[in-house]
Structure 1
């Protein structure tokens, strides 16, 4: 079973023990402001292979590479003026930029799924400290079995991957609670590849232009979180619920009334006050707790699609999608 270290009570020890595993090509689970990541040296093919094997993740699904700061990102990728503007505004934070790789960057093709571009993010807090100490980028998808609900606490990681990895760094609950927003500069525009913990409106305000959203499905996987079925619990997910089926868990947003809620096996509320940031922070934890009850389904009331609601609804639509 994985060893768990509290980063607040033993920051330096957590760094040292994580480094010892990372330099040997072993992944470790670490906290970020978005979700917990399964991190490995992005330049080491053995480390990347172990990440894919631990998660059971398809190797055509690229990994985000985490950097300590903008200067480190520039060692590995080419930033156009608009990407730089966004990086300066939102790093460290929950924004991933898909950028062209520099020739001979050192990031292994396994991490990029063979693409000539790479998703780069600069995380806040402890993860940045660890990257600075390693002085190499960390590829870090969410620390969970591929396709399942992302972890927002060390306990979530331990319950899922605890018998497959050696170390979990405990930084408490994640403040944002959903993965980063992923964008890519495309000519004179910005494409939104995955909504996430940074609202699209905030990016648009800094960029001075609207984001281009995908119209319909695409066969091209350019970034994590683009597969149709993802973030899925064991129970079936039903969206925009106006009534409850006996045996379902009801998951509310705000105080929206639902017919037959007395039939629900359990009732949760992502945010009684209707706050989208609170709902995003609670989303995966509530899904995990409801799913663990063995209910027949998770019935979600309608969540607004503006601000962080776009990211929440993206996760829920993928959770509700047909599974292979």
Structure 2
């Protein structure tokens, strides 16, 4: 008999305990982080991790981020070369993921790393995710809690709308504060590669670790968020240009728009609003039967780089047919 929907858990002691209980039993629980909601499973349980790929419709070659409560737990599963220690000291807990050499005997399911010799790992700052990790006592694999290639979830309702019965429970702690996924870095003896723009601005990273080399869409997928087509709404998304009649518009800064990222042009607010705005615009476009959503261009500075990265991966070319997601 099918469920009416996922179990909704409050972010209190009882909800945390129930979330950990479900995870320990091989379940999938959507858990909030400061960036987006993550679709969590026990990273040591191959069957549970396989359920993530099935629930999201995610390609098996696309690795997952492992979440742990502190740097000591990172060291148990990965080596920390190059500037990793300095970055960890400066930005963890927080919206930064490091791609690190996987330790022998780490105990993680090979599905987590997609067969690569590295693992993407993060120490999240959100108190609910921290509480779940400590209650469970195991690493958790947790990509964004949305269908693969679609808009990331920044509220519990986004998770329910996107995944429904594919997830066993949702731990509801309200909207995520950062609103875009973590910045992904690969610290290596020869330097630092930037694999994904995110909630930690590049300027802050480089103030600690020196210059980074962007490697955002390589031939080989090394980390989440590097696929060329990602974060897409159901309605074709266009960036910049003059809006056409009937299009749903997403604005940034002063000016009329159906939905706004930030009426004052604040990039922090825009980042926190990005996926919620895409969800709102997509629903509005569906209700109106609109042919496209058009978003105003955002400055390519600070968090604007992460916002633009998501928009470019979600967008279609002007005049092109919508590609399969």
Tell me if the contact between 2:259 and 2:280 (Cα under 8 Å) persists in the aligned partners.
no
Residue aligning to 1:234 = 234
Residue aligning to 2:8 = 4
- Of the three residues 236, 259, 262, the one matched with 1:271 is 262
Aligned residues, how many?
310
Residue aligning to 1:310 = 305
Residue aligning to 1:223 = 223
**C-alpha separation between the residues in 2 aligned to 1:118 and 1:163?**
29
**C-alpha separation between the residues in 2 aligned to 1:205 and 1:27?**
38
Q: What are the superposed Cα offsets for residues 11-42 of structure 1, whole Å, 9 maximum, x if unpaired?
A: 11112111221111111001000000000000
The Cα shift of 1:297 comes to: 1.2
Q: What are the superposed Cα offsets for residues 56-99 of structure 1, whole Å, 9 maximum, x if unpaired?
A: 10110000000100011111000125101101110000000000
Give the TM-score normalised by structure 2: 0.93
**C-alpha separation between the residues in 1 aligned to 2:165 and 2:23?**
18
Structure 1's unaligned 5+ residue stretches are: none
| 1:156 lines up with 2:158 in the alignment | yes
**C-alpha separation between the residues in 1 aligned to 2:13 and 2:314?**
38
The Cα shift of 1:188 comes to: 2.6
**C-alpha separation between the residues in 2 aligned to 1:248 and 1:187?**
49
Q: After TM superposition, which residue ranges in structure 1, 4 or more long, deviate above 6 angstroms? A: none
**C-alpha separation between the residues in 2 aligned to 1:272 and 1:180?**
24
Residue aligning to 1:122 = 123
The Cα shift of 1:313 comes to: 0.2
| 1:103 lines up with 2:104 in the alignment | yes
Residue aligning to 1:204 = 206
| 1:292 lines up with 2:283 in the alignment | yes
Give the TM-score normalised by structure 1: 0.93
**C-alpha separation between the residues in 2 aligned to 1:101 and 1:21?**
27
Residue aligning to 2:51 = 50
